[in-house]
Amino acid sequence: MTKFYLTTAIDYANGAPHIGHAYEKIQTDVLARHFRQRYDDVYFLSGTDEHGIKIQKTAAAQGITPQELCDINTAKFEECWKGLDISYNQFIRTTNKDHEAIVQKIFKKLQDNCDIYKHSYTGLYCSGCESFLNPRDLTEDGLCPDHLKKPEEVKEENYFFKLSKYKDRIIEHIKKNPDFIQPEFRANEVINQLEHIEDISVSRSKDSVSWGIPVLGDDSQIIYVWIDALSNYITALGYDPENPSEKFNRYWPADVQVIGKDILKFHAIYWPAFLMALDLPLPKTIFAHGWITIDQTKMSKSIGNVIAPKDVLDSFCLEQADAFRYFMMVTAPAGRDGNYSDLDFKERINADLANNIGNLLNRTLNMQVKYFDGEIKPEFITSSDNEIAKAALETVNLVKSRFDKFEVAEAAQEIVNFANTVNKYVNDTAPWSLAKEEKMDECAKVLYTVLESMRFIGALLAPYCPNIAQDIYEQLNRSEKAVDVKLDSLKWGEIPAGKITEKSKIKPVFLRVDSEIAGASKKG
């Protein structure tokens, strides 16, 4: 059995999810659903990061305990992911007792290996990053470049990890493994950061931060965010330094870890160093996606432009998340920033899902009923040597190739390109004219070719739009689920002879948003 293990970053449980969080989870879910169409065993992990000073302070301000705050906000994340059809296999919380116990063991092993030492330190601490910053990393005004706030000068005695010890090994690994950091243009960024890397604090004084995992044997210290949070990717699998589980041995190393570009340093430098110190293999790929802006403006609570995914669904009266999922995946090329606006959303999903794909299926089925009473005869099943069949099979290979490079937006465009090709084929062959001219054999073969194309489109679209894809398959009278179709098994000519549909069963698989028909059915 071929396994594929993929993870998201774990979201900080200090507030509710917004569409930036959703972008990453949908992207990873689309990857997971695609690779389930290719591999026997796909394992998808997500979760929440629940320790640290921000949670401690927010909870205190609200008059509740940090654990209560985490419980409230984690429930919001889980509810949101359910509404967006995120199909993770496991959701980990860093307040899980099993996770906390293994993190303590990991910390102890690193101590025993002499990779962790205690050191008095005065540094510039950014509470937003939950990280000590080097003066050279600050803006000209001495501000954190991400949070635009002045770091606090902190003097503590903490435990430090010998990150500098692993600098050369990490650089060598990046250079020898071009797939390790994706997109490739991010690799030089990481190598440049490594040139000035220093040892890092991996604990905090309990006088400064009390909400965290205690260091075994030292009641004055709690384990700092990086060993705690980053270790979730292996503790979720049952990693134990003394006795790793079968599950860990099965799935580790991760095939891809999907993260935001703002935390690439921690995943491409800190995380590999921790794994090297633990004598564990590194993930095959760290994929860093871009940010989502709102109307070309970075999301900010102070500006008031933070949007929750449910706000989008509610504003367009969408009962399912497919359209939102699709738009979020096509808004940016791999690794680049994307933008959300209501206008872009309406125009893109109406063009691709309603007009292109949805209308193609709807008008073809209607012609099949009008001219042939919904019946397909054996002699009208077309062979795979026609140009559309060849394009369908080629599109499967193109989509697979795109996903192998985690190019989710580009893969969607390959599907749309094929749908455009099929639409052009319909317009060029004009089956309505063939029927009018009583060229019924030719008309029947054209319609069959289009219906077979829609079967391919449904399977390829399923990772993005599982509900729409299933509607396509049901209207094609398919017994299998679109999301379960194995791409390598897709062959031309598998819609059998017989009754495929009848007039009463034909309905649009996606209604145009803000149209009269959508308004009548959704907003009445």
CATH label of the domain that carries residue 461: 1.10.730.10
Cβ of 20: how many Cβ atoms within 10 Å? 20
Partners of 125 in beta bridges: 132, 152
484 falls within a domain: yes
User: In the annotation, is 443 catalytic?
Assistant: no
Residue 436: give the domain boundaries: 342-522
Active-site hit among 18, 99, 289, 310: 18
User: In the annotation, is 147 catalytic?
Assistant: yes
Residue that the structure tokens 């800190």 belong to = 270
**Whole-structure pTM over 0.85, yes or no?**
yes
Query: What pLDDT score was predicted for residue 144?
Result: 86
Which is nearest to 99 in space by CA: 107, 109, 87? 107
110-161 pLDDT per residue, tens: 999 999 999 887 778 777 776 777 787 788 888 888 778 888 888 889 999 9
CA distances (Å), origin 56, targets 52, 64, 212: 6, 10, 9
Active-site hit among 80, 129, 443, 465: 129
Query: What pLDDT score was predicted for residue 523?
Result: 34
Active-site hit among 70, 80, 144, 465: 144
User: In the annotation, is 317 catalytic?
Assistant: no
- Residue 430's contacts (CB-CB under 8 Å, 6 or more residues apart) are none
289-318 pLDDT per residue, tens: 999 999 888 877 767 778 999 999 999 999
User: In the annotation, is 114 catalytic?
Assistant: no
User: In the annotation, is 144 catalytic?
Assistant: yes
199 falls within a domain: no
Residues of the chain with pLDDT below 70 are 1, 130, 302, 515-524
Active-site hit among 80, 126, 443, 465: 126
- The secondary structure element, H or E, covering residue 218 is strand 218-223
Number of domains in the chain: 1
Q: What is the torsion angle, in degrees rounded to the nearest 10, for the CA atoms of residue 419, residue 479, residue 510 and residue 444?
A: 50
Q: How many residues does the chain have?
A: 524
User: In the annotation, is 80 catalytic?
Assistant: no
53 falls within a domain: no
Partners of 155 in beta bridges: 122
Q: What is the torsion angle, in degrees rounded to the nearest 10, for the CA atoms of residue 307, residue 310, residue 311 and residue 314?
A: 160
Using DSSP's 3-state secondary structure scheme, residue 146 falls into: coil
485 falls within a domain: yes
Active-site hit among 155, 176, 301, 523: 301
Active-site hit among 119, 175, 196, 298: 298
Query: What pLDDT score was predicted for residue 314?
Result: 92
Which is nearest to 335 in space by CA: 288, 294, 286? 288
Active-site hit among 21, 25, 265, 267: 21
DSSP string, 357-393: IIHHHHHHHHHHHHHHTTEE-GGGPPPTTSHHHHHHH
Q: What is the distance between the alpha carbons of residues 63 and 69, in angstroms, rounded to a whole number?
A: 10
91 falls within a domain: no
379 falls within a domain: yes
Q: What is the distance between the alpha carbons of residues 279 and 245, in angstroms, rounded to a whole number?
A: 16
Q: What is the distance between the alpha carbons of residues 338 and 378, in angstroms, rounded to a whole number?
A: 47
Phi and psi torsions of 428, nearest 5°:
-70, -40
User: In the annotation, is 21 catalytic?
Assistant: yes
Q: What is the distance between the alpha carbons of residues 336 and 369, in angstroms, rounded to a whole number?
A: 45
93 falls within a domain: no
Query: What pLDDT score was predicted for residue 520?
Result: 32
DSSP string, 237-278: TT--SSS--HHHHHHPSPSEEEEEGGGHHIIIIIHHHHHHHT
Query: What pLDDT score was predicted for residue 517?
Result: 35
DSSP string, 423-441: HHHHHHH-HHHHHHTT-HH
Active-site hit among 82, 119, 147, 149: 147
For 47-83, letters b (16+ CB in 10 Å) and e give: bbbbbbbbbbebbeeeeeebeebbeebbebbbebbee
355 falls within a domain: yes
